[in-house]
């Protein structure tokens, strides 16, 4: 019986998807729940598993094609015999011939690797692409994910064991869409045209949308993080023992932002046509870099989370971003965003709004600088803060006071406990 393999239901607000890569070709035998194809949407990569055992008889779309929900991707025949299985007897016959004629000499190490690769490694979609592009033998990588699934972090650990020079080249290849480097003649001026990934195209679209549809203005301030750093140093060991995660700066900024948003609800609002929507909840987006581009997973109901819960969730977001396993639900919504360019060394920037939100807070690098405190010149850990906001609904006065409130809360963290 033939079964239609259809595009699964796409997340809300996602109109279509791109066929990223086929893992089976016509004539290949497939097992139930085995991944047949990866579909890339604006936010996540979806896997389409086989509904039953059988043979893939027909593929309707090629890699790079755009598909919509419920379209037929391929046809699976439950009763057919795989064409790929036909050469099996020949393989058996070859195995019966003396090893001295055709078989290469196998070292014990090679036998071990062959035994280990008896089962096909389980890879996430992003890792499958990475392994293919870097030309790595996945059977040599030990998976630490669920059911032995190989994660991007496992690939990175594998690369760490290689020669240092090769390791640096592969890391650089990873940062530049994981394309293997090729030796070029001296004086060559190569160029390469590649299509944007759907995520990169979506980022570009949203940035242009923000620039064109909002009246963006940015206000700046600086904050003395001495009190926060003293708290971290005082409690970091006990905090890590209790919550199994480090006490970072981001939880302080999230808490301060939530308290400031309560005082200035227009900063937590969004524009819908000619209406202003005031949100009575605080879903804070945290901008995170990933191999596919910038993503913004959302801390739901951040006002109800403890410092430990915030740090743990952000740590999980970072790990999932590297693995490419963030869900669509984790990437949608949000009433306010925090972006930390300081982790890359940025001293000052003007962050762009994350539509339809009306404001975004930019954090930057912490530097020891001389400042005047009560008439004395002292050296303090200082950070520049930037608040970009939609001037259509947020007045300059409100934006400045919002940022000053965050500054005051961070310079005297006890305010966050006392609500003053």
294: nearest Cα among 354, 244, 366: 354
| 115-195 and 202-418 share one fold | no
What's the per-residue H, E or C state across 293-339? EEECCEECCHHHCCHHHHHHHHHHHHHHHHHCCCCHHHHCCCCEEEE
Q: Consecutive 10-residue runs of the chain (420 residues): their mean pLDDT? A: 85 75 88 86 79 88 86 86 47 42 43 45 67 71 73 70 48 51 76 79 78 90 95 92 92 96 96 91 92 86 94 92 83 92 91 91 95 93 96 95 96 84
pLDDT of residue 289: 85
pLDDT of residue 177: 47
Fold of domain 202-418: Chloramphenicol Acetyltransferase (3.30.559)
pLDDT of residue 43: 65
CA distance 408 to 398: 15
What are the C-alpha distances in Å from 339 to residues 206, 274, 350, 359? 16, 28, 10, 11
CA distance 185 to 257: 53
1-103 to CATH, choices 3.30.420.10, 2.40.50.100, 3.90.1150.10, 2.40.270.10 = 2.40.50.100
pLDDT of residue 208: 84
CA distance 138 to 158: 10
Checking DSSP bridges between strand 149-150 and strand 45-49, what pairing results, if any?
Answer: unpaired
SS3 104: coil
**Neighbour tally for 177: CB within 10 Å:** 14
- Is 115-195 a CATH 3.20.20.10 domain? no
- If 0-12 CB within 10 Å is exposed, 13-18 middle and 19+ buried, where does residue 404 land? middle
Q: From the candidates 33, 329, 391, 412, give the one annotated as an active-site residue.
A: 391
pLDDT of residue 293: 77
Q: Is residue 267 a contact partner of residue 402, using CB atoms and an 8 Å limit? A: yes
pLDDT of residue 212: 83
Q: What is the DSSP string of 62-103?
A: -TT-EEETT-EEEEEESS---GGGTTHHHHHHHHHS-HHHHP
167 is catalytic: no
Extents of the domains making up the chain: 1-103, 115-195, 202-418
391 is catalytic: yes
Q: From the candidates 33, 65, 70, 395, give the one annotated as an active-site residue.
A: 395
- How much is the CA Rg of the chain, to the nearest whole Å? 26
């Amino acid at each position: 019986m033939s079964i239609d393999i259809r595009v699964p239901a796409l997340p809300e607000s996602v109109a279509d998807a791109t066929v990223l890569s086929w893992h089976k070709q016509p004539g290949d035998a497939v097992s139930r729940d085995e991944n047949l194809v990866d579909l890339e949407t604006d936010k996540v990569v979806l896997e389409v598993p086989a509904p039953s055992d059988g043979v893939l008889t027909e593929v309707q779309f090629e890699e790079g094609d755009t598909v919509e929900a419920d379209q037929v991707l391929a046809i699976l025949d439950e009763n057919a015999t795989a064409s790929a299985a036909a050469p099996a007897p020949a393989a058996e016959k070859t195995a019966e011939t003396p090893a001295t004629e055709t078989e290469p000499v196998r070292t014990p190490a090679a036998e071990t690797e062959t035994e280990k690769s008896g089962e096909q490694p389980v890879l996430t979609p992003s890792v499958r692409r990475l392994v293919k592009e870097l030309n790595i033998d996945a059977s040599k990588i030990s998976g630490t994910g669920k059911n032995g699934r190989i994660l991007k972090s496992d690939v990175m650990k594998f690369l760490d064991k290689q020669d240092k020079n090769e390791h640096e080249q592969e890391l650089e290849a990873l940062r530049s869409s994981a394309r293997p480097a090729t030796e070029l003649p001296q004086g060559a001026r190569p160029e390469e045209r590649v299509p944007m990934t759907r995520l990169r195209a979506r980022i570009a679209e949203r940035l242009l949308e923000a620039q064109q549809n909002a009246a963006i203005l940015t206000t700046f301030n600086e904050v003395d993080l001495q009190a926060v750093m003293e708290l971290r140093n005082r409690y970091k060991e006990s905090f890590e023992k209790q919550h199994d995660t480090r006490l970072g700066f981001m939880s302080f900024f999230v808490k301060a932002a939530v308290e400031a948003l309560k005082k200035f609800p227009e900063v937590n609002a969004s524009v819908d046509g000619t209406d202003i929507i005031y949100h009575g909840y605080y879903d804070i987006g945290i901008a995170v870099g990933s191999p596919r581009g910038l993503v913004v997973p959302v801390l739901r109901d951040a006002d109800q989370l403890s410092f430990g819960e915030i740090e743990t969730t952000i740590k999980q977001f970072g790990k999932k971003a590297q693995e490419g396993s963030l869900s669509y639900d984790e990437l949608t919504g949000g009433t306010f965003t925090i972006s930390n360019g300081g982790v890359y060394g940025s001293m000052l920037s003007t962050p762009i709004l994350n539509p339809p939100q009306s404001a975004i807070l930019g954090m930057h690098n912490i530097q020891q600088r001389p400042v005047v405190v009560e008439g004395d010149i002292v050296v303090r850990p200082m950070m520049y803060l930037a608040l970009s906001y939609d001037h259509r609904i947020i007045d300059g006065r409100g934006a400045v006071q919002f940022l000053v409130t965050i500054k005051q809360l961070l310079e005297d963290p006890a305010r966050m406990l006392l609500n003053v």
